[in-house]
Structure 1
């Protein structure tokens, strides 16, 4: 089955991709990533596009980016995504892989939109225990660093940290160990899906806050809720 991958550049995507590449059912030959075109960075993660390109090159799978303006409404987001999915369908793609774990509203939203264009969503990590997922990720030899954390639940000291046993131990009890509620986002720079590690240097850390207008909603993990996500202040670590 002709398949594309919804690639975020983070750890859950990497583990889901690792699993799908071992399944001959899926003919996967493209990674699809959303980009903030005003800043040339991966949406939500804030990762520079050149590091995303290095990831794809090391993985050895073609990368397709979907560009959004910085101030995107839910309507324009849906319109741009629909156009991108129509293009993929026209090329014969029938399935898409996601690294989602337990957010029911997000999965429901995805499946509704996918059904509109006759694409089937596949979720290799769905409903697995997040502690087990992260431990498997580390046991396989993957390496990741946090690039964005929700300032409402995590402080500056958690951004720009490599994911390891100490990181897990330091997480507050109310934070999911995989950051599935949007508590943190990561950049994967090494592991079994890569031909070679991705070289980078840790740059500056900045706190950014966003004001959601009445006609706008957040296009992150919580985009499908009836009300906007008010967790709108984030620590970012620039990787160069």
Structure 2
């Protein structure tokens, strides 16, 4: 019996993570020793999806893989420093691979490889190079259930918050957005079916509009607005 390679799965809590993890577990090439997620130290929720740590922990419990949460502070370089610490932590356990659920964003993959390769960790992308239509088709056949919890306000309005991601809701998407939301158009929370042994219970009490200012490379500032569901267990 061949020995599986030890890996950490970088978990966002959403559909692409769940689909990629399901694929990895089915193929059985890797021993996934932990799910790794980053949270905001102040809010105790994931930074982009805004999923509370309690829900992330319940997802991990339902899947049956331990969760390792990295709490990030709002200071320059903290992400790289904390992720480097986490990487060394897992290397001491014999981990050689970090797995992600990206689809086609080459700059994101390069960023991961630039930081992990020098540390002796190989990046694995199970969904890589597939079209968004292919990934969505695989997701709809996977049995995994997810709900939309964040939308980019100028792409999808607040009425999408709380909708089940299925053929019905997908048919309501404007033609110009990526069907998988790979460019940040929307984010989801996976909660049942597929890799989940039991349903992860949560509620969405309201959708609120929030805005963030991002400084661009040319020094200008651009504002992005999102609809975000308020999640609780």
Give the TM-score normalised by structure 1. Answer: 0.89
Q: Contact conserved, 1:150 with 1:231, CA < 8 A, in 2?
A: no
Instruction: Summarize the alignment of residues 1-240 of structure 1 with structure 2, pairs less than 5 Å apart.
Output: 1-69=5-73, 71-73=74-76, 75-212=77-214, 230=222, 232-240=224-232
Which structure has the higher relative contact order (CA within 8 Å, separation 6+)? 1
Secondary structure, aligned partner of 1:46:
coil
Q: Contact conserved, 1:205 with 1:237, CA < 8 A, in 2?
A: yes
Q: Distance in 2 between matches of 1:94 and 1:152?
A: 40
4+ aligned runs moved over 4 Å, structure 1: 225-229
- The alpha-carbon distance between structure 1 residues 196 and 98, as it changes in their structure 2 partners (threshold 3 A), is same
In the TM superposition, what is the alpha-carbon distance from 1:230 to its structure 2 partner? Answer: 3.8
Secondary structure, aligned partner of 2:19:
helix
Q: Distance in 1 between matches of 2:221 and 2:91?
A: 31
Q: Structure 2: state its 5+ residue gaps.
A: none
In the TM superposition, what is the alpha-carbon distance from 1:89 to its structure 2 partner? Answer: 1.4
Query: RMSD across aligned C-alpha pairs, in angstroms?
Result: 1.8
Q: Contact conserved, 1:152 with 1:231, CA < 8 A, in 2?
A: no
Q: Structure 1: state its 5+ residue gaps.
A: 218-224
Tell me which protein shows more strand as a share of its residues: 2
- The alpha-carbon distance between structure 1 residues 131 and 72, as it changes in their structure 2 partners (threshold 3 A), is farther
- The alpha-carbon distance between structure 1 residues 229 and 134, as it changes in their structure 2 partners (threshold 3 A), is farther
Secondary structure, aligned partner of 1:157:
helix
